[in-house]
Structures are given as structure tokens and as C-alpha cells.
Amino acid sequence: MKFNLDTAWKDASRLLSRNLGLLAVVAGVFFFLPYAGVAMALPEMGDLQAAQASGNFDLMAAAASDLYASYWWLFLVLAIIQGIGLLAMLALVRQRANPTVGEALAAGGRSVLSYIAAQLLQVALIVFVAVLLTAIGALTGLQALAVLGGIVAFVVTCYIVVKLSLVAPVIAIEGERNPVRALRRSWTLTRGQSFRLFLFYLLLLVAFMVLSVVITLVLGLPFALAGEQAALLGEGVLSGLVNAVMVVVAVCVLAAVHTQLARLGHERTPSADG
């Protein structure tokens, strides 16, 4: 059987409506407040946002490099905090034991290092594959092959991201603490479903991008009219709000996708054995 996009969205919507209050509280504490605080506290965030608005890739890369080089430790702390929040929310929406918020947060704290290790392994894999494919095209000296190598690298990167998209649910819901086994489990769950999953994620991403632009334009206008300082404050608040909303929806989507693919995996097992 194939992954059903409509079923996944309906399941995600049910999870969202049933757990909205708890998810909003956790997202507010672990995503909105830290993200908005960092956005407002660091002057360099304004430089990065200006570079992004300019559309100049070199300028964006330089601004991002300077920002992370200066405050890498802060972003590491932020990653740990948000990792705990993400895993806790996944535990809240899908664990059959119905954990309390405190129990879910404790579980997130115990497994966050496994999650971060899995993310680092995933990034290392993507960088290795992307560099290898682009380098092969560039070494030929032919512009067409170099461009083709870049396109192939992008496609393979998307494929890897989709295949490993269920690492967080595997860790939070199944309780897998070994990062390598979590990566392998996600790869197994998504077997034969990659294209449908890619379409599902892409549709959600496009819808969210449109919604975030609308929210930023509508809610950001009063801040922009109030002056430069108010505009910076508004950008930080809105960035944190959009980030928190995205995470809440993503948690429900990932939990719904994980549940459906785990069920399909169980259905395939008897026939495979037989």
C-alpha cells in the first residue's frame, strides 16, 4: 500500500485540534520566546535580515557566517532547547501512555542528545554527497556538467531529507536512543514512499510560506509604521510567532506520517515473510 496524503493531513488535523492547547504552551516556551529573544537581542540579526531582503547570495552567506561565528554557542543552546521542545511535543501527541507535560519534557531532555547527534550525522551525509556530486561535475571543466552536478546534488539532498524526515518521531515516539538506528529506522519506514512524501511536504511548505508572508505583511505593517526600532521589535516577534506555528503544525504532520507508515510497515511484514 502507498502513503495516503489525504489521510495523513486528516490525522494531523485531528492531532492539532485535540492537543492545540498543550502544543501552543510548549511551543511558546521552547520556540517562540527563545527565537524572538535571540532575534531581538542580537543586532547582527538585523544585518542578516537585510541581506536576505537584498537577494544577494554572497551577502547573505557572509552575514550568516559572521553571525554563527560570533554566537555559535548561543545557537547551540537554542538548538538544545528547541530539540527538547520538539521531542516533548511529539511525545505528547502520540504516546499511548498519555504523559503529562512534565513527563514529556523529561523524555525530551533524556533523548535530545540522540536527536542532535542524528541531525549532525544527517547534515554530514548531505554535505558529503552534495560536495561529491558538485565536485565531480566541476572537475570535468565543462559548465554543463557542473550545472548538472549541482542539480543532481539538489535532488539527492531532497531525497535524503525526505528519507530521514522521521528521525524525530522515531526517537520521541518509539523511544530509539541510538542515532544511527534512528536514521536507519526512518529510512526503512519511508521505503517506497519517498515521492509521495516529497509531494506532501512540498505542498505543506508552499502553503506555509504563503501564509507566513501574509502574516508578516499584515501584522508587520503597524510595527513598520511606528519607526525603525519598532520594526526590528516586530520582526523578532513575528519571526518567533511564525516559527512556533510552523513547529506545532510540523509536529502533528510528522506524528501522523510516522503512524501511517508504521502501520503500512506492519501490514507489509506478513506478506514479505510469507
Q: pLDDT digit string (tens) for 96-153?
A: 666 788 888 999 999 999 999 999 999 999 999 988 888 887 777 777 787 888 889 9
CA distance 12 to 257: 8
Q: Tell me the whole-structure pTM to 2 decimals.
A: 0.86
Domain assignment present for 272: no
The alpha-helical segments, DSSP class H, found in 55-193 are: 57-70, 72-94, 101-139, 143-163, 167-173, 179-189
- Cβ neighbours around 175 below 10 Å, total: 12
Domain assignment present for 83: yes
Domain assignment present for 242: yes
Query: Would residue 227 be called left, alpha or beta, if left means φ above 0 and alpha means ψ between -120 and 50 degrees?
Result: left
- State the pLDDT at residue 26: 94
Confidence of residue 176 (pLDDT cuts 50, 70, 90): very high
Domain assignment present for 274: no
Domain assignment present for 225: yes
- Report the range out of 8-17, 32-41, 58-67, 226-235 with the highest average pLDDT: 8-17
- For residue 85, which amino acid is it? G
pLDDT in tens, 98-110: 678 888 899 999 9
- State the pLDDT at residue 237: 82
Domain assignment present for 227: yes
Domain that holds residue 238: 5-267
In this predicted structure, the answer to whether residue 84 has a pLDDT above a threshold of 90 is yes
Q: What is the mean pLDDT of residues 153-177?
A: 95
Where is average pLDDT lowest: 135-139, 169-173, 262-266? 135-139
In this predicted structure, the answer to whether residue 235 has a pLDDT above a threshold of 90 is no
In this predicted structure, the answer to whether residue 36 has a pLDDT above a threshold of 70 is yes
- State the pLDDT at residue 271: 41
Contacts of 136 (CB under 8 A, 6+ apart): 149
How many separate domains does the chain show? 1
In this predicted structure, the answer to whether residue 236 has a pLDDT above a threshold of 70 is yes
- State the pLDDT at residue 43: 66
CA distance 238 to 257: 28
Any long-range contacts for 232-238 (C-beta under 8 Å, 24+ apart)?
Answer: 232/40, 232/46, 233/40, 235/39, 235/46, 235/49, 236/36, 236/37, 236/39, 236/40, 236/45, 237/36, 237/40
- State the pLDDT at residue 97: 61
Domain assignment present for 248: yes
CA distance 56 to 115: 33
CA distance 111 to 109: 6
Domain assignment present for 92: yes
